[in-house]
Structure formats: structure tokens, C-alpha cells
Chains A and B, each alone.
Chain A
Amino acid sequence: MSKIFTEEYLQQLSNKVNQTDEFIKEAKYASFIVGFHDSTSNKKSWVEFLDGRVNKFGIDDTVEPHFTFVGESESWEQLADKEPLNRLVRRSKLTVTGDKRLCMKNWKMLWLFGQLIKEV
């Protein structure tokens, strides 16, 4: 199971994200919830951004994300390892459900988030 579906990891990632200047600059005023869904294991997690910072996160079904990245376990492992988010989406290894427009309007911020996943 990819680390992105564990609370311990999401806590570490949130700390990293909220302390990374490049991300903070790109995420200014961003407020939305992004979901992650492993279609192989059916594991889910989510991260809420409020005013550009990670406000909450979880691994439950109680929150409805604005949009969700969906893919098989292998794709999530690749994202955590070295594959950039843009390559996985381009190859349709990860797809976007929900508000695609909101997702793409925040594309560089989300891409940076994907890069930080590899660093934690």
C-alpha cells in the first residue's frame, strides 16, 4: 500500500508542504479538498487546503473531495517513488474525477505537491 494512504505519512507530508516556500508561493489563497483513490485496494485519503496551507487530512470516507486522483496501486507507488504527477496523468495511469476544471486551474500547485510526496 502506498504511503499516501496512511495518516502518519500525511502528517509528515503536511508539515513538509506547509514549510516549503516554493509550494506556499504557488498555493496562495488555494482552498479546496483533493482526494486520492487506490482503485486496486479501494484505499482512500484526502487533503484539505485552506488559504494555501494544508488544514486537514484523513483516510476516511467522511469528506467529499472537490476532485480525486484515481489509479491502481502501482501508479501510487510510482508517484511516491519517482514518477511525476504530470507523467502519470498524461499516460492515464492516474485519472481525475470530480471538478476537473478546479484541478487543472491549480495544476502547478498539485504538481509541486506530487514532487514533495517523493521527498518525505
Chain B
Amino acid sequence: MAYTSVKGIRTYYEKKGNGKPLILIHGASQDTLSWRFNIDFFSNHFTVYAIDLPGHGKSYPLQSGPVQKTEDYALFVIDFIKTLNLDKPLLMGHSMAGGICLSVAAKEPKLISGIVVVDGAAYTVEKVVSYNNDVLDLASINPTDWFECNFRTLCGSNTSLERIEEIAFDARRCSPEVAIGDLRAYTSFDLSTNIKNITCPVLLIEGSEDWSCPPEAVELTYEKLNCPKDYVLLNNVGHFPHTEQPDYFNEEVLKGLARLNLL
């Protein structure tokens, strides 16, 4: 566990393991805790860095306030990599952070070795994820309850009630202002212009029962990518595969990384 200063922002991260760097980036309204069932596993193969994005967990927010755009989070991750002088890390991001990883790969294709997109996509605009401005305005009144109810119903059919409670608790740890900023970032992300810049290998992994970032959105991303790529669909899993079914998820990610020569 450590802190560093990224462009003046005190940033919290957890570090474990040896080998090539692997950066884990949490999704909207979450923090490093969301990787609690994955860090130990991946530290057997990589030096794992799990980070709290600005305003989440133990990281300070940006001076400009809560982030509202996925691209701004991507710039922060690029600065984090440069601050720690990490050599071509692998990135793994969940949901909104899947978009962050894709955005980093498009902006700085030579900075990283590959990305793993967990229940995320290159296009999470209204027609894909169903959020319009009216719904966002409703959610902005009470983001904490909005996220909790969504998280509770986004888990897959095989997820235990105990695990659903944990995931719901995660949602309530985030400040409302940051949570709604995340939602606006997620629902406005469209990489259609720059997806062609991605050259590194991309592993897309997705719960079959995810209705927040549905398999159709991930399949569209897979079709548009013109780089080494792989797509894994996890059966009976919802939007949080790394937390819902961590053993299943960890093993499938490792197999996918091996197929893409990223181990």
C-alpha cells in the first residue's frame, strides 16, 4: 500500500507481486476494494498495481472537481504510469475503466503492452447502455441509492446473496458527486474515431448476464478493433465477474492473456 503524487494529486495504490507491471483500474463508484479477490491471484504472475482513481477510495479528487469524461481518467492513468516509470504495463479495467483502458491504448499505443477490458466497451453511449439525459438527471438527485439498486440487480444468477451485499456496499463507499461524474463519463464515452489507433493486444471479457454493458456492446467493440484480440463470455455471470465469480474470472483472464502472448 502506498501513495504517490500524480500531477499534484495524492493517489493511493496497492502493490503486490513480481514480474511485468499489471495495473488494475476499478469501475464507476468503486475503488481498489473491488479487486480484493483478484490481486493475490495475479500477483503470482505480475507486479500488480491497483489504483484508486481521483476522488475514489483514498485518492484526492482533481482540483477541477469530479471527473466527467472517460478521456480525463485516461490522461490520469497515463500520468500515473509515467510517474511510477512503469515499463509497458498491462492494463485491466472494469466497466467504465474498460473504456479508460481503451482510451489509454488509443492515446498512447506504445506506452502499454496490452489491455483487459472487463464488462466494458468502446461505445457506452445512450443507444448502447440506455442512459439519456433525463435518466442521468434523475440519478443525479440520489446517485448513492441509484448505484446501489443498479449494482444489486446487475449481478448474475449464480452470485450468492452474501456477495451481492458486498457489491452493494461497495457502491455506498463513493461520494455522490464522484459517483454521478462517473456515470456521466461512462455514458458519454465514444471511441469510434480513435479506436483505429489501438495496436496492442486486447482481451475483452464479459458476463453473459450483464445488462449494463451488454454483450452486444462488447461484440461491437471486438468487431471494430484492428489489433490482436480475444473475446471471452462468462456464463451465468453479471456485470461484476471479478467479484461475483473470481476463480472463474481469474482463470479465464489468465488463459486469454496466454492466447495473446501477454504472460
Contacts and interface: CB of A to CB of B under 8 A. Distances in A.
Given A84-B153, A92-B132, A92-B135, A105 B141 contact: yes
B145 interface: yes
A105 B142 contact: yes
B148 A108 contact: yes
Interface in B90-140: 130-132, 134-135, 138-139
A101 interface: yes
Interface in A56-99: 84-87, 89-92, 95-96
A111 B138 CA distance: 14
Contacts of A103: 138
Interface residues of A, number: 18
B42 interface: no
B132 to A, nearest CB: 6
Interface residues of B, number: 16
B227 interface: no
A43 B32 CA distance: 48
B211 interface: yes
Q: Main secondary structure on chain A at its contact with chain B?
A: helix
B150 interface: yes
A91 B130 contact: yes
B135 A101 contact: no
B169 to A, nearest CB: 13
A104 interface: yes
28 contacts: A84-B153, A85-B149, A86-B146, A86-B149, A86-B150, A87-B211, A89-B138, A90-B130, A90-B131, A90-B135, A90-B150, A92-B130, A92-B132, A92-B135, A100-B138, A100-B141, A101-B141, A104-B138, A104-B139, A104-B141, A105-B141, A105-B142, A107-B146, A107-B149, A108-B145, A108-B148, A111-B145, A111-B149
Interface of B: 130-132, 134-135, 138-139, 141-142, 145-146, 148-150, 153, 211
Given A86-B149, A90-B131, A107-B146, 20 more contacts: A84-B153, A85-B149, A86-B146, A86-B150, A92-B130, A92-B134, A95-B134, A96-B138, A100-B138, A100-B141, A101-B141, A103-B138, A104-B138, A104-B139, A104-B145, A104-B146, A105-B141, A108-B148, A111-B145, A111-B149
